[in-house]
Amino acid sequence: MLWIKLAYRNLIRNRSRSIITIAAIAGAIILLTFMDNMQTGSYQAMISSGVKTGSGHIGIYHQDYLGSRELDNNFSFLKVHKYLSHPSIKEYYPRLYVPALIKSSHNSSGGILLGLDLQKEKNINPLLKNKVLIKGKWPRLSHSKDVLIGHKLATELSLSVGKKFVVMAKGKDDEISSKLFRIRGIIKTGVTNIDKNTIITNLKNIQKLIQKENSVHEVAIHLKGFDYINDTLSNLNSSLKSPIKAFSWKKAQPSLVDLIKIDQANGIIMATFLLFIVGIGIINTMIMSVMDRTREFGVLRAIGLNSKYIKVIVFFESLILGLISIFIGMFISLLLTYYTSTYGIDFSSVMKDMNVAGVMIDPIIYTVLHIQGNILVCMSMLIISILSSIYPAFLATQIQPAQAMQRK
């Protein structure tokens, strides 16, 4: 306790320097932990959206479809339906993606026809949220001509709600099939690829167009949670027959996984750099503290105090600085995290498109407390505080009593 009291007294002797150092360390902790919590929240939002609009937790495909995206790599939904009663499966959504030529009376453009089970997906798919519909109404299930169209594609083709247009696509036996559709609603998702190229309608309408009843390219499976993925995936692949295969969301959406890995790597680089800068700051503070107390340390050496005890004093000074900084930094960081986890941070003013790696995301990001990451930051900062005392402590033990006593 004596060494702690001595170290504490030395710190409060020069309050301004100690406060500046504590503020710098606490500021670094706030920045690193809050950014970690915000990253965690954004990753969860991206993955959740990717699961809802894309493959689900698990996606069932023709084994060659993910690599080729070819129309012919489809399969009959009837071949997999009987395997979707696994207790971990919450819901499943069959989908069909058909490349097509879209022609209006004014212009023509290539695009994608997206066939969904609109009734099932209305409450889960972000593409079908009410805020996405900017004009018109949702397609009626009983009307085979009703479609949703991306607002950029509608502008390019000079189409508006209620207007008709023709779609041409490759059908059965490689013959060209065509169908007349009517725009029921115009959507604005913020995802360029969807707004500029996509038409959404009921799955059966697309199946009739290409003359392939029950055909799908994807069955997106939603599970009760991410913890069920491995067991369910193994169970499905042991039941499905080639060329149909089940893939986890990571395999089905590799661009999203890669983006998260790159962002995490960038975060680690930034954190390492910031920790290095903080370490230099602590070393500088401790060296200045030692130099200011040259006469004091000289007196202690002159009365016979062992050099190891001088090292202990300097060590505890660094430790106390680190602990106080961690407490203050984490307290403020937790307050910020609590507030932003409740109300979120609105990035709509700086996000031109509401998509990341082709995944539609909400511009309001909610932070999520990443306990492991926050603990790692605090432990790293504490270790740096301790290591930063080594060189200043060494300098303190090198002070010669005779020379130190001559200093005023």
Hey, is 160 helix, strand or coil?
coil
Hey, is 396 helix, strand or coil?
helix
Given 251, 272, 303, which residue is the final one in a domain? 251
Given 251, 266, 298, which residue is the final one in a domain? 251
Q: Is the pLDDT of residue 227 over 70?
A: yes
Same domain, 127 and 276: no
- Distance of alpha carbon 382 from alpha carbon 376, whole angstroms: 10
Same domain, 21 and 105: no
Same domain, 289 and 388: yes
256 close to 191: Cβ distance less than 8 angstroms: no
Same domain, 186 and 319: no
- pLDDT of res. 3: 59
Nearest residue to 58 (alpha-carbon basis) of 255, 253, 203: 253
Nearest residue to 101 (alpha-carbon basis) of 172, 178, 158: 178
Residue linked to tokens 């004014």? 106
What's the one-letter identity of residue 85? S
pLDDT in tens, 245-287: 999 999 998 888 888 899 889 888 988 888 888 888 877 877 7
Same domain, 103 and 244: yes
pLDDT tier at 338, thresholds 50, 70, 90: very high
- pLDDT of res. 60: 95
Same domain, 223 and 320: no
Same domain, 94 and 195: yes
pLDDT tier at 356, thresholds 50, 70, 90: low
Same domain, 113 and 226: yes
Same domain, 93 and 237: yes
Residue 217 or residue 394, greater confidence:
217
Q: Kindly give, in sequence order, each residue whose CB lies less than 8 Å from that of residue 338, ignoring residues fewer than 6 positions away.
A: none
Asked if the peptide bond before residue 243 counts as cis, ω within 30 degrees of 0, the response is yes
Q: What's the predicted TM-score (pTM) here?
A: 0.80
> How many whole angstroms from its chain centre is CA 15?
41
- Enclosing domain of residue 209: 57-251
Q: CA of 53: how far to CAs of 47, 220, 300, in Å?
A: 10, 9, 70
Given 251, 274, 290, which residue is the final one in a domain? 251
- pLDDT of res. 171: 83
- pLDDT of res. 259: 86
- Distance of alpha carbon 138 from alpha carbon 184, whole angstroms: 6
Same domain, 160 and 301: no
Q: Running DSSP on this structure, what letter comes out for residue 228?
A: G
Residue linked to tokens 């661009």? 255
Pure H helices in 293-354: 294-302, 307-343
Residue 97 or residue 316, greater confidence:
97
Same domain, 279 and 171: no
159 close to 149: Cβ distance less than 8 angstroms: yes
Total domains, the chain: 2
Question: Count H helices, E strands: the chain?
Answer: 16, 16
Same domain, 44 and 77: no
